[in-house]
């Protein structure tokens, strides 16, 4: 049997405790060790009269059973006096049960100002004044429990009780806000809507029912909600006859009627009324943030000129994330020549007017290269395969490209055949739609070339009860709080979208005016991945000298559309090897790529000459490893087939990071962290001891000098680098 709940050392104020529910609460608290302030004005149910007899009688009952109690006869409108009684008598206040109430039932047409005001003063204002008087004491002691008393009349309405209903639902709003404000101070506030026999319910219930609905069937809920072990906060409970139930709000999926630059009419509301009121797959918002989220998403879609006409939160009956997540699509093959690389470069704005663009436009150039962002092209067809995934019911006319991540593991070949393998990484419920995270790994033969994560938003497919976030998502990053370090502006051509689509994105939205108009756009729009390519090459030029080997990864969120002919302005902030970017339409100032960044590999990370060590002996070792990779990289890649990360520390702080890639191409070494199969953390001194054979690696590991993350078995393959040659 579980331990009984006690209130030893707690001080409780119960208002309206001279009879009915209040009396039952006071007796129960007193019996379980609390010191109780029994408040009762002693008036009648309409608020008239005054007497100390009711409160005194309850105090006597508590004391007769060995409890501690004191009476208070003030009105709840004198809230400070009630709390002062607790402080003067017991030195603190821990729990407030706002229970006092009166009735002045009238049909609405007959309700006078006095009828209205008196009910509000006792129920709503009285609870406010008593709670406010206790609030700072509870904050200072980092503990408080508060009960507000609502009613079924307040939740549902009841004939002849307009004044009472308004006050009772007002108490729920007050309670919900106090729950939010008090949370960090360990002050919990909950609301009960009891149905019990009392002076108030005698006027609206048959006598036999009043007798059956005993107050003792309500008190256990109130005591639990007031106990220090109860985590509940901001709840609403109906209780009576031994039954307890929790209530919550429910909202229909609704329908978005507004389109940008078009009037919203009452006729449209009339014509979609059944959908607006359809509670199928309804949502259950539990906070104002959740309530507003749908509206924010609707506004975003409308401002993006999407012209939504469907439910923003219309869940599809065919959506079952548990079936979809982890599903793989058939392997895709993509063959291309130098012509495709050149066509892509032209599609993202490169021109022979710029001499440094020639290496991307002329196959005969001595340093002819493929732009890194071409890596999205062989992978993009994976999105069309989503329709075949079980558990996903997708209307492709409502598919929006939300975010994109691309990571390069080696420079792209300028021709060849690439294969891509796509997996549904996760499915998220954003309320107004469904987000699908699609991971695509692209290989040249067996070598991983690049990794894409497509984040696609299916408008109107949310509300299926799924999770809202995922640890598998590559996240965006906030901009530094300073002016940009560099800005590049490029004007797109009138035919930019027509040119970019030749790289494989054939969506008519980007070429056909009538199709664009159906989507709410004034003319065909530029591909989001085209703006993506513009921004990436701006960073590559500004911070990497157009050296494609330095490009590591890019992440963007697509915010607003661009029309061909507009100018793209890329703003850049450099922080170490990360370049934060924001891309705007210069003419309007609209942000089109947000939360974006590009990570670069450090410049000239491997040198034939001994590097500047800055006092680290290990730098000389890594320089030698780099030489060995250059001399015998092919053989090492075949033998090892792994990527090793190293974190070198000095004086307890990581001061160097290295990546040894013996998995792709002819192998490489670069300074800085990259995605590794296994990562070693070791001090500079211990690293040298291991390399020179003075410290056994296993002993170093078990002694905590060498820490390993990832596939520890791959550490055995390091011998190929560290021991198959003459001593370092």
The residues annotated as belonging to the active site are 164
Q: Distance between CA atoms of 560 and 568, rounded to whole angstroms?
A: 12
The DSSP line for 160-181 is: TBHHHHHHHHHHHHHHHHHHHH
| Cβ burial 115-135 (10 Å sphere, 16+ → b, else e) | bbebbebbbbbbbbbbbebbb
Among residues 597, 555, 545, the alpha carbon closest in space to that of 576 is found at 597
Distance CA 515, CA 546 (A): 37
Contact 515, 551 (CB under 8 A): no
Could you tell me which residues come within 8 angstroms of residue 524 by beta carbon, excluding any fewer than 6 positions away? 497, 509, 510, 511, 512, 513, 515, 516, 563, 564
Tokens 């009037």 -> residue: 263
* Cα four-point dihedral sign 77, 80, 85, 86: positive
DSSP 665-691: TT-EEEES----SEEEEEEHHHHHHHH
Q: What is the dihedral of CA 354, 359, 363, 364, to 10 degrees?
A: 100
Q: 149, 132 in Cβ contact below 8 A?
A: no
Query: Taking a C-beta distance cutoff of 8 angstroms, is the pair 362, 405 a contact?
Result: no
Rounded Cα distance, 637 and 643, in Å: 10
CB–CB of 523/492 below 8 Å? no
DSSP state of 251: B
Helix (H) or strand (E) holding 647: strand 642-650
- How far apart CA 594 and CA 270 sit, in angstroms, is 38
User: Rounded to whole angstroms, what are the CA distances from 515 to 43, 201, 520?
Assistant: 73, 64, 9
């Amino acid at each position: 049997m579980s331990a009984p709940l006690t209130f030893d050392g707690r001080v409780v104020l119960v208002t309206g405790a001279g009879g009915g529910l209040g009396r039952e609460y006071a007796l129960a608290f007193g019996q379980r060790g609390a010191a109780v302030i029994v408040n009762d004005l002693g008036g009648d149910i309409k608020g008239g009269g005054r007497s100390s007899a009711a409160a005194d009688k309850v105090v006597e009952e508590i004391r007769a059973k060995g409890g501690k109690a004191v009476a208070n006869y003030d009105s709840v409108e004198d809230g400070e006096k009630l709390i002062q009684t607790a402080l003067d008598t017991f030195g603190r206040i821990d729990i407030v049960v706002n229970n006092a109430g009166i009735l002045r039932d009238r049909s609405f047409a007959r309700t006078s100002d006095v009828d209205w005001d008196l009910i509000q003063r006792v129920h709503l204002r009285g609870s406010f004044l008593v709670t406010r008087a206790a609030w700072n004491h509870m904050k200072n002691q980092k503990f408080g429990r508060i009960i507000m008393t609502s009613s079924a009349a307040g939740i549902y309405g009841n004939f002849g009780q307009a004044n009472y209903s308004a006050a009772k639902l007002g108490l729920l709003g007050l309670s919900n806000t106090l729950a939010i404000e008090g949370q960090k101070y360990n002050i919990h506030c909950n609301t009960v809507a009891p149905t019990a026999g009392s002076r108030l319910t005698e006027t609206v219930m048959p006598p036999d029912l009043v007798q059956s609905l005993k107050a003792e069937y309500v008190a256990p809920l109130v005591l639990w909600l007031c106990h220090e072990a109860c985590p509940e906060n901001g709840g609403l409970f109906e209780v009576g006859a031994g039954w307890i139930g929790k209530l919550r709000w429910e909202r229909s999926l609704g329908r978005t009627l507004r389109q940008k630059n078009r009037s919203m009419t009452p006729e449209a509301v009339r014509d979609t009324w059944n959908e607006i009121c359809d509670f199928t797959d309804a949502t259950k918002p539990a906070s104002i943030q959740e309530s507003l989220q749908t509206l924010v998403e609707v506004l975003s879609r409308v401002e993006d000129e999407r012209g939504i006409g469907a439910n923003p939160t219309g869940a599809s009956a065919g959506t079952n994330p548990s079936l979809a997540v982890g599903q793989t699509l058939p392997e895709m093959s993509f063959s291309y020549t130098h012509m495709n690389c050149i066509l892509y470069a032209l599609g993202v704005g490169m021109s022979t007017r710029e001499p440094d663009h020639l290496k991307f436009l002329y196959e005969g150039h001595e340093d002819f290269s493929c732009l890194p962002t071409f890596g999205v092209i062989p992978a993009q067809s994976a999105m069309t395969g989503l329709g075949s995934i079980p558990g996903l019911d997708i209307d492709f006319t409502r598919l929006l490209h939300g975010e994109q991540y691309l990571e390069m593991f080696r420079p792209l070949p300028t021709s060849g055949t690439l294969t891509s393998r796509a997996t549904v990484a996760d499915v998220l419920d954003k309320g107004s739609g469904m987000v699908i995270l699609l991971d695509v790994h692209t290989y040249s033969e067996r070598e991983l070339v690049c990794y894409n994560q497509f984040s696609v938003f299916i408008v109107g497919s949310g509300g299926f009860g799924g999770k809202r976030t995922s640890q598998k998502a590559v996240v965006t990053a906030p901009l530094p709080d300073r002016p940009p370090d560099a800005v590049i502006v490029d004007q797109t051509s009138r035919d930019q979208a027509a040119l970019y689509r030749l790289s494989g994105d054939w969506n008519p939205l980007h070429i056909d005016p009538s199709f664009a108009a159906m989507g709410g756009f004034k003319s065909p729009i530029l591909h989001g991945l085209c703006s993506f390519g513009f921004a990436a090459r701006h960073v590559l030029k500004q911070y990497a000298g157009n050296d494609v080997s330095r490009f590591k990864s890019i992440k963007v969120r697509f915010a607003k559309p661009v029309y061909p002919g507009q100018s793209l302005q890329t703003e850049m902030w450099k922080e170490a090897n990360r370049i934060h970017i924001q891309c705007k339409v210069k003419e309007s100032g609209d942000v089109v790529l947000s939360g974006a960044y590009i990570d670069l590999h450090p410049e000239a990370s491997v040198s034939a000459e001994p590097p500047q060590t800055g006092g680290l002996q290990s730098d000389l070792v890594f320089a030698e490893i780099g030489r060995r990779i250059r001399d015998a990289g092919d053989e090492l890649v075949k033998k090892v087939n792994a990527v090793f990360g190293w974190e070198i520390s000095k004086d307890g702080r990581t001061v160097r990071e290295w990546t040894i890639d013996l998995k792709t191409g002819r192998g490489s070494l670069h300074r800085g962290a990259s995605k590794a199969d296994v990562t070693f953390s070791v001090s500079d001194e211990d690293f040298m001891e291991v390399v020179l054979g003075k410290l056994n690696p296993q002993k170093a590991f078990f002694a905590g000098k060498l820490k390993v993350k990832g596939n520890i078995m791959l550490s055995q393959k390091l011998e190929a680098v560290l021991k198959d040659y003459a001593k370092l």
